[in-house]
Structure 1
Amino acid sequence: MSNTHPTVAVIGAGTIGLSWTALFAGHGLRVRVTDPRPDLAEAVDAALAEAAPQLARQGLDTTGLPGRVHLAGGVTEAVRDADVVQENGPENTGFKRELFATLVREAPSHALLLSSSSAIPSTAFTDRLDDAGRILIGHPFNPPHLVPLVEVVPGRRTSEEAVTRAVEFYRSVGRVPVVERKEIPGFVGNRLQNALSREAIHLVEQGVVSPSELDAIMVNSLGLRWSTVGPFLGAHLGGGPGGYRHMAEHIGPSMQRMWDSLGRPEQNPEQTERLIRAVEDAYGYRSYRDLGRERDHKQLAVLAALKDAGTTSKQNQETRS
């Protein structure tokens, strides 16, 4: 963005909003955060303290991190001088429609208005606004100060300039923005996640594996593979020298039969309760805080390893050339 040190307003300080706040402050931005929660100051302080060592491991200067964050008394104060607004409110179309009407009215005319909406396309809540050209989705994965992806999803009236600015902004804070060409409920990441979750629930319901066993299968196979190459490149490599063509032509029919047998769990109240208890039996003996810290530690290790592998690969290519 043209302003090398933009002011960012974070609207909503739940898990996602607090993580965004830490990320933006970690990159030296001025952050104004607002939320009606009575413990906002304590929540921000705790989030910054928790995130500081994780940001430092990513090479960011966390000296004076809290000094970059200002607690605003409301939306108007938060967005008054903002260059970028990152909204993290409830997944409710009516709420977002009202909030973005306020943002359009109160934020400077140049401010980029981004929503962390995880399922609702922006067209659904900007249909009554005259100025929708600078509004679009910037959907992260939790927690955004660790997980690089941001799904950038323009609405029907979002300008190309706003899309370009959003991509530039997210790259400036070390994220990997991917622009999606069509609006679809849930966007791409959550739809993929939900498709996998549906089959995972089916397999547990059928007694094939327990929740912890299914997680072990994912972590030690597909999770490991997909963190490096993704499904399509993984399948292309799985086809050997013949690539994806060989895979599709020789394994395609059996894949089709498997698709036809995939489960569609109904998840009635009784089934849901059994699944909840199975997951609680597997993981309920540990606190959310401990499990979250372990997850974040492992994710940082994976990111560091991938960065190191990418650097080594680039050096090898330069040597060969």
Structure 2
Amino acid sequence: MNEHTPSPGSVRRVACIGAGVIGGGWVAHFLARGYRVTAWDPAPEFEAKLRRLVDAAWPALTELGLAEGASRDNLVIASTLAEAVADAEFVQESAPEDLALKRDLLARIDAATPPGVVISSSTSGYGMTEMQVDCPTPQRLVVGHPFNPPYLIPLVEVVGGERTEPWAVRWASEFFEVAGKSVITMDREVPGFIANRLQEAIWREALHMVANGEATVEQIDASITEGPGLRWPLLGPCLTFHLAGGDGGMAHMLDHFGPSLKSPWTRLEAPELTTELRDAMVQGCERAADGRSIAELVADRDRAVIAVMRAVDEVRKGAK
């Protein structure tokens, strides 16, 4: 960090490099949060597609609540990459998942962006360590991995590379929080990040079942939307299994059901349930519960599930 680095809360000018589905979603999100957004994409006539995406997202963003000063008129289209980042106070890159392209683009962004300004990549598959190799000032580059659509799904996973300095990760996490995102600041680089790894496990298993004629696409989707998906919005998979252990919580669940981890229910090889892993899971659930009892968690979960069910039902009725 240097004297040119703005505080996360003072940022008003954001540059979005790459304006496809993800980049355009970022543009819509930042506009809705009241930022002035400059966008650039090498694709010819990208502006029309980008403005259509923003217009399509705007009703949902309006329903969620626009920040003071939010306006689609705050979108500026740049004719060059250098122009896009010239006065940026934060940069979000969202180019296609091509490592050579990412390396070259991030190096060019880094060279053109004012000193001290944090540069974030929307990559969903590459680690920053392998992308920042050609950057002149790699210490300010981080991954800010969103979920599609970025204007609606709040999650963003933040992690640096081997040459990223800790201040940049802290700064990016704080900025994304100020910008209305739900942030997971990762402790280390993990291939595929956290949510994608979990999502990929379900996806891989779904493909196995379809390929083997064990379940249809409709059955698989219904198994999530009508089953565990209703529990996950509030508690997630770990605390959900914590409740499965009753008053004994995760400790009882693992002691009772631990052997079934080796049952042939999945094509993913289960890890060895060591004492260390068991203790880490139990302690992690205790931290996540944050003092709430099993009964309190059950009550919270049930209220959330009912609210989700009612909301989804209203949307379904409106679609008929």
Is 2:151 the counterpart of 1:108?
Answer: no
TM-score normalized by structure 1? Answer: 0.79
What SS does the corresponding residue of 1:242 show, helix, strand or coil?
Answer: helix
Distance in 2 (alpha carbons) for counterparts of 1:30 and 1:63: 10
Spell out the pairing of 1:138-153 with structure 2 (5 A cutoff): 138-153=144-159
The Cα shift of 1:96 comes to 1.3
Structure 2 counterpart of 1:284: none
Q: 2:38 aligns with which of 32, 35, 47?
A: 32
Instruction: Report what 1:155 is aligned to.
Output: 161
Equivalent of 2:240 in 234, 238, 243: 234
Q: How does 1:87-102 map to 2 (within 5 A)?
A: 87-102=93-108
1:1-321 equivalence runs, <5 A: 1-2=7-8, 4-61=10-67, 65-258=71-264
Change (3 A) 1:236 1:114: same
Between stretches 21-30 and 195-204, larger displacement belongs to 195-204
Q: Aligned partner of 1:163: which letter?
A: V
In the alignment, the residues of structure 2 paired with residue 304 and residue 157 of structure 1 have an alpha-carbon distance, to the nearest angstrom, of 47
Q: Percent identity over the alignment?
A: 40
1:192–1:260 CA distance, 2 compared to 1 (3 A): closer
CA positional deviation for 1:58: 1.1
**Aligned AA (1:134):** R
Distance 1:30 1:170 in 2: 15
Q: Deviations over 1:264-295 (max 9, x none)?
A: xxxxxxxxxxxxxxxxxxxxxxxxxxxxxxxx
User: Is the CA contact 1:87–1:116 (under 8 Å) kept in the aligned structure 2?
Assistant: yes
Normalised to the residue count of structure 2, the TM-score between the two structures is: 0.79
* 1:242–1:3 distance in 2 versus 1, CA, 3 Å: closer
Name the CA shift for 1:304/1:172 in 2 (closer, same or farther; >3 Å).
farther
Partner in structure 2 of residue 289 of structure 1: none
CA distance in 1, matches of 2:51, 2:250: 49
Q: What SS does the aligned partner of 1:227 have?
A: helix
Segments of 5+ residues of structure 1 without an aligned counterpart are: 264-300, 306-321
The CA RMSD measured in Å over matched residues stands at 2.2
Native 8 Å contact 1:150 1:177 kept in 2: yes
Q: Deviations over 1:151-191 (max 9, x none)?
A: 10111121111111101111112111101112122111111
**Inter-partner Cα distance in structure 1 for 2:308 and 2:94:** 27
> Cα offset for 1:6?
2.2
Inter-CA distance 40–175: structure 2 relative to 1 (3 Å threshold): same
The one-letter code of the counterpart of 1:56 is T
CA–CA separation in structure 2 for the residues paired with 1:234 and 1:137 = 29
Where does the alignment leave 5 or more consecutive residues of structure 2 unmatched? 1-6, 270-306, 312-320
Following superposition, the deviation at residue 46 of structure 1 comes to 0.9
Moved more, 35-44 or 174-183: 35-44
Give, in angstroms, the shift of residue 43 of structure 1. 1.3
